[in-house]
Each structure stands twice: as structure tokens, then as C-alpha cells.
Amino acid sequence: MALNKGNAAPDVTAATVTGQHLCNHKESISNQAPAGNENFAGPGAMADSLLGTESAESSSVNSDKSSLQEVSMTELYDRVYEPKAPVVEGLLYPGTYIFAGSPKVGKSFFMAQLAYHVAAGIPLWEYQVRQGSVLYLALEDDYARLQKRLSRMFDVEGTDSLFFATDARSMAEGLEAQMEQFITKHSDTVLIIIDTLQRIRELGSEQYSYSKDYEVIKSLKSFADKHGICFLIVHHTRKMEAEDSFDMISGTNGLLGAADGAFVLKKEIESGLSRMLMIRFDIEHLTGKEAIELVNR
């Protein structure tokens, strides 16, 4: 059950149902190159190397980026990969996710609620969380507005593990370096929320291409995979409805193409229901769509 207090953010309950189709899946794998047969050169080979003569063995040890570092199916099966510990059990895992919705639908309220629950180690509805430091880049807010919103939601309860910043550099101007500094100071970081994508992306022109959309999410995904954290990137949806709700995410398919999954928050006017649709591409955790209904009381 949610821990909201006051009347600003609605108390919510959640129900999970199986959705419809999803045929495209991705698997997250390590970026490490396949292990080769490493041979230590003897004194003679070392001497040859000093003279500028490299043996075939020493050449194979050196990483050659111009050649493929392939691995056989048998070798791949022999490898052991540690499972990803969830940030929110059954809902959010390490990786990069898009959280999209129309303006004023409640995205920022839900982000604050999620951030607080993870930072405080409090279950979100029936979902268990992995407690850790959370960085919330509230780039469309100021601290006075954040204080007012949080006090209405949680009264005077707080946590030292939830951090906010209302200003940050763009990806092109050094955002990754800023986040590296934060993670160095807070090694238990599990979640970074970027609200919104528009505030940190590189502005090259009025129009965004598939390649530009793909590249910005790919850069964030590489950072998340490197540090084993989760990125949740707040974004907007188009005004025009679509048969598939995920087609409403503003921008090209490059955003979803590079992400590990996405959430779409929709307001159903007739029923007064806020519905959060979720799609995740990692088949270890999910092989379809889920709809989580947030019922306002």
C-alpha cells in the first residue's frame, strides 16, 4: 500500500494483469570480451617482443578492436552470470527505462513516491524494494516546489538516502561526469530518475532522428550497465491516441529501441482510473505486457 499522506497525491492500490502481444525481446549481456587462451610468454618470447618481433600467441592476447571477439554457443553456456537484483521486485530492474505520460497526469508525483520508497526501503504496494541511495534530477522544478510537494505527500517523514538536484548539465556538456561523482560519493546508489529527458538531451535541431534518439538512450544504458543501477527517464506522450499505447511516446522508435523497457501512464477520464502500462524487453523477467491499474480513492 502506498505511504502517501495528505490530500495532494492519491492513495493507490495496484493490480497486475497479463497484457497482450510482445514479440521483440532483448537480452542484457555483459560487455566483457570473451575469454581467450591467455599464454604467458617465456624469456625468449619476451626478448623477441623487446626487439619488436611479436609471436602469434602474444598478438592473440592483445585486444584487436578491428576483429570480432566471438564466442561459441558452448562457451557461452559455460559462463556464469550473476542475476540482476531488482530495484522494485517484479517491476523495476537495473537498466534504462522510459516513463512517459501526458502533462499533469501525475508523473512527478509517482516519481517522488517511487524514489522515497526505494530510498527508505519501504515496499511499494505489494512490491518489495531494494533499499539504496536514489538521485532524483527534478529538472523542471525548484527546491521550494519540491519541498511543498514532498511535505504534502509524506508530512515530516524523510530519509537521508534520497537526493535531489534541480539543475544538471546535458549529456553533451558533462552529465555523465556529474553522475559519476555522485555514485563515487554514494556507492549504494540503485536508482537515478531524470525528469525530464528533454532537459538533458543534446539539442542539435528541431527534429530528432532515430539515430539521435537511439544514441541518447544508449549512452544512458551503457552508464547504467556499467554501474549496475537503474535509470528511470521521464518523458512525454503525444496528444494523438494510438492503438498501441507505446506508440504514443514522443519521438522516434529509437527511444524504445535502446531502452530496456518503458512505462506509459494514462488517465482514463470515464472511470477516473490512472493506468500504468509496462513493457519490459528482458525475457528473464517478463515476456509480455502488464497493466498496473492505479485506483484513486
Mean pLDDT, rounded, for 116-130: 94
In a 10 Å sphere around its CB, with 0-12 CB exposed, 13-18 middle and 19+ buried, how is residue 268 labelled?
exposed
Mean pLDDT, rounded, for 197-220: 80
**Euclidean distance between the first and final Cα of the chain, in Å?**
12
32 CB contacts (<8 Å, ≥6 apart)? none
Find, among 297, 236, 225, the residue nearest to 264 by Cα. Answer: 236
Q: Which domains does the chain have, with CATH numbers?
A: 16-30+85-295 (3.40.50.300), 43-78 (no CATH)
**Cα three-residue angle 11-137-252, rounded to 5 degrees:** 90
Find, among 296, 288, 286, 287, the residue nearest to 265 by Cα. Answer: 296
Task: For 268-293, write each residue's pLDDT tens digit.
Answer: 666 666 677 776 665 455 444 455 54
Residue 5 Cα distances to 1, 9, 163, 213, angstroms: 12, 8, 20, 38
pLDDT score recorded for residue 213 = 86
Is 246's pLDDT higher than 50? Answer: yes
pLDDT score recorded for residue 79 = 95
Cα–Cα dist 91/113, whole Å: 14
Confidence of residue 201 (pLDDT cuts 50, 70, 90): confident
Task: For 64-109, write each residue's pLDDT tens digit.
Answer: 668 999 999 999 999 998 888 999 998 899 999 999 888 878 888 9
CB atoms within 10 A of CB 24: 9
Task: For 47-69, write each residue's pLDDT tens digit.
Answer: 344 334 344 444 444 456 689 99
Lowest mean pLDDT among 55-64, 118-127, 170-179, 257-266: 55-64
Residue with cell 537480452: 27
List, edge to edge, every strand of the sheet that includes 162-165: 16-18, 289-295, 273-280, 261-268, 95-101, 230-236, 189-195, 133-138, 162-165
Is 31's pLDDT higher than 50? Answer: no
Q: Which amino acid, one-letter code, is at 133? A: S
pLDDT score recorded for residue 140 = 92
Please indicate whether residue 29 or residue 261 has the higher confidence score (pLDDT). Answer: 261
Lowest mean pLDDT among 25-29, 95-99, 156-160, 207-211: 25-29
Cα–Cα dist 124/276, whole Å: 14
Q: Is the pTM of this model over 0.75?
A: no
Task: For 135-175, write each residue's pLDDT tens digit.
Answer: 999 999 999 999 999 999 999 889 999 999 999 999 989 99
Find, among 287, 248, 291, the residue nearest to 21 by Cα. Answer: 287
> Which parts of 171-260 are beta strand (E)?
189-195, 230-236
